[in-house]
Amino acid sequence: MKAAPASGNTDRTRAMDRDKVVEDQTSDRSVRAFALSADAAVAELGADPARGLSTAEVVRRRQIHGENTLKRREARSLLSMLLEQFRGILIWLLMGAAALSLVVGDIAEAIAIACVLLINTVIGFSTSWRATRSMEALYRLTDVTANVRRDGQVLALSAVDLVPGDIVLLDGGDVVTADMRLLEAANLFCDESALTGESLPVIKTTDPISDDALLADRANMAFKGSAVVRGTGLGLITATGMATELGNISNLAMEAEAQGFPLEKRLDKLGSDLVWLAVAFSALIALAGVLRGFDAFLMIETAIALAVAAIPEGLPVVATLALARGMLRMASRNVLISQLSAVETLGGTTIILTDKTGTLTENRMTVMGLLLPDREVGFEDEGELTDAADSELRAALEIAALCNTAELSAPGGNGGARGIGDPMEVALLLAAEDVGLHRPDLLSDRREMRRVPFDSDTKVMATIHETPGGSMAAVKGAPEAVLARATHLATEEDVVPLTDATKSGWLDWIDAVAGRGYRLIGLARKDGMGPEDDPFEGLTLLGFVSFLDPLREDVPPAIADSQAAGVRVVMMTGDHVSTAREIARSAGLGENDSIHAFTEHDLETLYEAEDGEVREEFLKADVFARVTPESKLRLVRNYQQAGHIVAMTGDGVNDAPALKQADIGIAMGQRGTQVAREAAVMVLKDDAFTSIIAAMRQGRVIFDNIRRFVAYLMSCNVSEIMVVGIAILIGLPAPLTPLQILFLNLVTDVFPAFALGLGEGSDDVMKRSPRNPETPIIPPRRWRDIGVFGVFLTCSTLTVYWLAINRFEMDETSATTVAFLALAVSQLIHVFNMRRRLEPLARNSVTANPYVWGAIVVSLALLAAACLLPALASVLELATPSWLQIQLVLAGSVTPLILGQIWLALTRGAED
């Protein structure tokens, strides 16, 4: 009588324990089911492979775990993106200047500054608009159906409705809709490249895996977001929604901090400097004027004018236009940039973390050669297998073509035909075609009777064929598995017994070739098979085929260019370390052919190390192999903490968090997932590493150009402040009105500055080391140049102004016109002082820039209009200049250019 309650309590306890296990899967993804046997995993999750979950149980579990969806991040509104255009101290300064102009009644001045703000906002908003987001791409991965066993029936259900414990039937072409422990797997291959970085489809098994196995090594699991390439399987769902590995990556992407671009930081720093400069100098001049007896209100008005003059109103517009122009140039080199400031940031990159497959390599498996009984074929000829008369070669490739499930899209060699199916099997068909062996022709004489699929336990597969001499088995598989089952060896003369000593020699040979980064498979046959014979016993070994995803031809020169520019290249890949090390060596990574490589397990030492020397040793690595999404993200952060500007390439879902965290995330346009493309700020349309180097050069050119036009604008603004301030201090009337200063800043100065921003750059731009990320746009030496040039412009302008008043006794309007035109024209030709000191005087990057000459012509035309058009001249308070005034203007304009060139020559060794 007492047993029943005990049994009931036990049942309830078991149910509660099962609920706890199922609930805990949200915090321990996949309940580490890969470490359990299939039966143990079923029991752990309270599942029934034969009938599936009941409807009531599904409802109960959904209440615990929710829908099988990924968490959404709230999309940015148009308003938030619009407000983003008003970030930055320079923009705030312009807004403040406009407000001050309104306060003192200078409506025209306020309107002019407002127009500048409007232009900058429109350009920035339209260029920065991003139509889609990385999270939206992740959500689309769940918009599929799955064949699920419930209440004893197989139902096609939306992926959203799946719960832990569901039994899912998998077939070729399916998208895996949740993380699942495989209970059955028949020739099941899954493409997990987007999650793990593994370039080839992964054969699946049902055997338990070590508890500490990495994600890429969990062969008994099928992961949400991966795809079934071929075969069939039965899976037990162990995790749904955000508890899946894909959900974990989604979390990482949301938690990763998008990095502010260095240019934005530098412009903000420059803006801060300008605030103090403007306030301090304006207050000093106002105080000095009051002390000399000038009207206090007049001095306050003058101080405001000087504050306006201190702010380069055209700088935000010119910077935005220069960056937009850089984006167009990069687009012509197959590089798309989604955020303006990223253009310049790329030029400051100090390290590139690059994917291997498709970026450094061609993303296609190629047969590189064969190991035959007495020789290697094909290695010296870079994979070109063209000796059609070689009987041993033909015999091996005949087996490779017969024991094959792929199909070619068209007949031809490696340069033409492509195929459908496993990349390695396609490569075998292409190699066979090279020596004239076409699979359809072979099958016409050797009809395929049956097929024994690849099995993860035996690691071999076979096709049985009917031949005139009887049945024959064509066998291929893992080298060790084929060699272990072989009893004979086919040589050119005869078939001879395969001794243990010979097998040992083959194993050494295989290890040596694998150590060079090649993947290998063995080829064998079995003749005279009976109906009940095991196709894998008593094999005759024919040889071994080596494969490689070939390095792109243009990669080694591009990496050499990168290293010459002082930028390190580090490979991060999901491939095995031996393969990665060989590709890295061929690409030219490392020093003196020495490649420092670490794996995921090694990285645990880095994360736990408090010793700076240990961390530094890891960060000197050339290769990181078998890395997880978390490790990619942590590596990016470690490099950033070490002071690097990090560019990272990626193409898969697993790359999204690190792409977002990197200073420059670079996604592949052809093979990249939409998740990766939208997490990145830069997309390579051609997936080529060389495009990164071209974009890096453009980024450096843009920074040089920005530094030039900022120095140009600042020297012009300094001269305007000094002209007005010194004139007041020595008792002269103000040479310039606030509106005239604004005209100079927004009209005549902007065109030459923009022309400087369009320069093509010098030839040695990629031979310099990367600039220090902390280096400001205007370093101390540049500030010295700005001050010196400002003095030259000021002295020249004040000299002609003083002559106009005291020597030639001109009225105030005529004298102001002389000062205005002298300063304007001298600022225009001052653009030629912006050449690099080491460049020649006559032929340099400024004089060779056609936009500079065009800008001068346009600006001179605008100056003429300001003096000759009555309405404009009236607003600016200018008079039509006489010949005498023009002579004064020309004399005052040329002097700063001559003095500037002398200064550049005297300080030639002070090049930045």
User: Could you give the residue numbers annotated as active site?
Assistant: 355
Question: What sign does the CA torsion over 100, 102, 106, 110 have?
Answer: positive
Distances, alpha carbon 596 to alpha carbons 540, 623, 630, in Å: 40, 6, 21
- Nearest-5° angle of CA 343, CA 345, CA 348? 130
Rounded to 10 degrees, what is the CA torsion of 768, 769, 770, 773? -120
CA–CA dist 314, 860 (Å, integer): 18
Count of beta carbons in the 10 Å neighbourhood of residue 398? 20
CA–CA dist 339, 87 (Å, integer): 15
Helix or strand run (H / E) with residue 846? none
CA-wise closest residue to 806 among 895, 713, 865, 731: 731
- Rounded to whole angstroms, the maximal C-alpha distance in the chain is 127
Exposure letters 35-65 (e unless 16+ CB within 10 A, then b): bbebeebbebbbbeeeebbeeebbeebbeeb
3-state secondary structure of 365: coil
**Spatial CB neighbours of 589, under 8 Å, sequence gap ≥ 6:** 559, 569, 570, 571, 595, 622, 623
CA-wise closest residue to 554 among 429, 688, 419: 688
CA–CA dist 355, 822 (Å, integer): 57
Q: What is the DSSP letter of 774?
A: T
Task: Assess contact for 796 and 826: CB atoms under 8 A.
Answer: yes
Rounded to the nearest angstrom, the gap between the alpha carbon of residue 796 and the centroid of all alpha carbons in its chain is 50
CA-wise closest residue to 778 among 38, 35, 78, 272: 272
Read off the tokens for 236. 């037990």
CA–CA dist 632, 634 (Å, integer): 6
CA-wise closest residue to 330 among 829, 835, 690: 690
- Nearest-5° angle of CA 441, CA 444, CA 447? 130
DSSP codes of every residue in 566-605: T-EEEEEESS-HHHHHHHHHHHT-SBTTB--EEEHHHHHH
Rounded to 10 degrees, what is the CA torsion of 228, 230, 232, 234? -20
**Spatial CB neighbours of 845, under 8 Å, sequence gap ≥ 6:** 759, 760, 761, 762, 835, 836, 839
CA–CA dist 395, 416 (Å, integer): 24
Read off the tokens for 780. 């101390």
Give backbone dihedrals phi and psi of 552, rounded to 5 degrees, phi first: -65, 140
Task: Assess contact for 543 and 392: CB atoms under 8 A.
Answer: yes
Which residues pair with residue 684 across a beta bridge?
Answer: 335, 668
Read off the tokens for 108. 């025209």
